[in-house]
Structure 1
Amino acid sequence: MCFVRNEQVYATLLSKNGRDQWSSHIMDYPGKPDGLTGLSEDKTLELLRAAIGDEAIPIELHAVNAWEAAIGMAASFRQGRVFLAGDAAHVQSSAGGLGMNTGIQDGHNLAWKTAAVLHEQFTPALLDTYEPERRAAARASLALSRHMHPTLDLAGSRWTLFVEPGDGRWQATAASLGIEPHVHDLNTLGDAVLVRPDGFVAWRGATRESLQDALRDLGLRPQWPYQLVRSTTASQCGSSGAG
């Protein structure tokens, strides 16, 4: 798998058979709407060619699906004779293949226990061990997935401000910065984190003032309304002095 980031698209390219079958995750592009949004066939082909770097290459598009990474776990893995396993019991990002492996382990755990009960080698009490065992394993897998899932995938190719969930003070701050960052909720251990469009962390801190100082150090110009006020004031002062 390779990651491609340019002015037109941020995507992955993954060979399926080592020859002529490929898949791609298109994660960001200019004008991408917030939220889960499907792509037309024409837009998909345009973005794929931008990722490949060759507008003339022939592409036979097999399927286009919109999806988003999520992490969660069912409230219960069992209700009477019904058991949940795999994605029905827990969902996580594709990073590391943890979802597939955890799901396979669910199936193995449940299969041998069910067989042992059906062959009367064990009583049905054996099946009671499925949920506590697999819930503990899924919880550990989800925790690992949460750390493995690339935070930069959320950032894409734009300025992005990661803030603590529920910390609403940063929304107004983001709107006043002059760079129009996308704001994401993320457990940032108390601080906010600003990521540049090239994937580098530009700042981490807890106050608006320190964020503004960091952007000023990077060379961010004052916003146009601010410049216009300064220019108008200077003009008025000059006219007054000349008179």
Structure 2
Amino acid sequence: ISTFHFPDNHSSDKSVSKSIALAVFDGHGGGSCVDIISRRLFHYIALSLNPSIKSYDKNQLNTLIEDLYYCPNPYHNITHKYEDRAAEYLKKHLLESEEKILTQFVRDLKPNNDISSALENAFIRCDSDLSEEIEHNLLSSSSNILLHYYLSLAVSGCCVTLMLIHEDIAYIASTGDCRAVLGLSGSSNTKATLKTIDLSKEHNSDNIAELKRVLSEHPKSEQNNIIRNER
């Protein structure tokens, strides 16, 4: 759960709006990917919502986003898998990598007042930047610690469902096999009732549109091997 501070584009006095984001991160294939995504994604979102920022500054980022609750700690997997010295080495490396990546992300940002597209941009860029980071380190690193860590990242993954509430409007961003559901309580004939409304769609083998999208991005020769065990 985090709060975001970004300019109110509908106000003439350049006031700052305060919004809240709630997200569920569901890792698979280990905890490496979910740890790093749960840390970085909020940073991408905060910067995407502030395209007027001209350069990346860690202290400025801390004024844009306030982390309210971590569960678990974003370095949970590292501290439990590696010895103290190796864990500290990895943390330092990841912070340096994050600074380089976010610096380039800020340079590439374009003016955008649409929250939905800003969220989409944050999700896509977070994913693509991590993929490039993994590939670069696996191909060029001589450190066994880094090779082991980035290999664990390569074989793991993370689903995310996120809600951003801004000016009484809820924006939903979701990727992977997870779903946001709204519960509405009521009563009928003195009996309590609960109605659920799906706010997003799962990206799995039950989603025909998602299946078509995935198949369209692969050669026909691979179509019999893309989906295995409903994944």
TM-score scaled by structure 1? Answer: 0.23
Give the structure with higher Rg (CA).
1
TM-score scaled by structure 2? Answer: 0.24
Q: Which has the higher strand share?
A: 2
